Amino acid sequence: MNGIAAVLGAGTMGHGIAQVLAQAGYEVRLRDLERERLEAALGKVQANLEGAVARGKLPADQVASILGRIRVETELEAALAGAHIVVEAIPEDLELKKRVLAEVSAVAPTLELVGTNTSSLPVTEIAQATAAPERVVGLHFFNPVHLSRLVEVVAGERTAPETTRAAVSLVEALGKQPIVVRDAPGFASSRLGLVLGLEAMRMLEQGVADAEAIDRAMELGYRHPMGPLKTTDYVGLDVRLAIAEHLHREVGEAFRPPYVLRRLVRAGKLGRKSGEGFYRWSPEGECLGPA
């Protein structure tokens, strides 16, 4: 499978998904609602590629051709024209995802694969909103997409085995490692990752230690590349809150969102993307120390 890939949503995840698809040779149509978001996304992709050139990971002469394979669109129909595959990376909101993928299947009924990048929501229910649930599969990328090696492939109840196989091949073609998981709340990664993140927030509220010390405990003590609070800043506090609310409903008390998470989200402190969360961040995304 190769050709044209539409990516819906150009935020934290969408721009990275567009980048890795373009790097693998796909012609990418990146869709968001506003042109400014799309311009910002292209800027981030360019910065990522230039970073790869600086680290000796990418020949400099490939930057322009990779960027040239990403076309930005604000209209769904234009983004889907000629597409073989779609990956959605719009906000973690079940009704929104169902609505958008229903629109997708009405506009482009013959897509080979529709991937949802949901972190926790039921792939089966999202798929049911479409005309071809057998071609819908979870494609759960990790942040930052261009550097992370894992993609969780989530097989819904009605996902056809050939769709799961196509998703695994796609992930491998992107140079990443797939794990195939069943459609259970939070899959394998978000469920475990969130437990750690939410417990770290409760420890912060209880004054067990400050954010840096809690993160260092996991980084140095357990060799995690990044502690749970900094990871939350990377993910986006709003995104983590949405996942926690869903897992709280579906799995139970361990996922009750801590008050500090709600408080920061209400104040617009969403982590790296807004400049402040548990840490402060420069506009270029450098960590400036604890908030």
Ligand X SMILES: NC(=O)c1ccc[n+]([C@@H]2O[C@H](COP(=O)([O-])OP(=O)(O)OC[C@H]3O[C@@H](n4cnc5c(N)ncnc54)[C@H](O)[C@@H]3O)[C@@H](O)[C@H]2O)c1
Contact residues for ligand X, defined by CB under 6 A: 8-14, 31-33, 37, 89-92, 100, 117-119, 140-143, 235-236, 239
Q: What's the token pair of residue 70? A: 């990403």
Q: How far is the CB of 206 from ligand X (least distance, A)?
A: 26
The residue among 92 and 276 lying less far from ligand X, judged by its C-beta, is 92
Q: How far is the CB of 41 from ligand X (least distance, A)?
A: 8
Cβ atoms 146, 63 nearer than 8 A = no
Return d(Cα 97, Cα 111) in angstroms, integer.
17
The residue among 18 and 52 lying less far from ligand X, judged by its C-beta, is 18
Question: Which candidate, 202, 212, 215, places its Cα nearest to that of 255?
Answer: 202
Counting every residue written for the chain, the total comes to 291
Q: How far is the CB of 114 from ligand X (least distance, A)?
A: 14
Return d(Cα 114, Cα 88) in angstroms, integer.
8
Give the pairing of strands 113-116 and 287-290: unpaired
Return d(Cα 176, Cα 181) in angstroms, integer.
16
Query: At residue 285, what is the residue type?
Result: G
R_g (Cα) of the chain, nearest Å: 19
> Which residue is at the shortest CB distance from ligand X?
11
The residue among 5 and 13 lying less far from ligand X, judged by its C-beta, is 13
Q: How far is the CB of 59 from ligand X (least distance, A)?
A: 28
Tell me which residue has tokens 């968001």: 32
The residue among 142 and 281 lying less far from ligand X, judged by its C-beta, is 142
Give the pairing of strands 150-155 and 287-290: unpaired
The residue among 11 and 133 lying less far from ligand X, judged by its C-beta, is 11
Q: How far is the CB of 65 from ligand X (least distance, A)?
A: 25
Q: How far is the CB of 195 from ligand X (least distance, A)?
A: 16
Query: At residue 22, what is the residue type?
Result: A
Tell me, rounded to whole angstroms, the distance of Cα 43 from its chain centroid.
18
Q: What's the token pair of residue 197? A: 């993140």
Q: How far is the CB of 236 from ligand X (least distance, A)?
A: 5
Element (H, E) at 88: strand 85-88
The residue among 133 and 138 lying less far from ligand X, judged by its C-beta, is 138
The residue among 59 and 225 lying less far from ligand X, judged by its C-beta, is 225
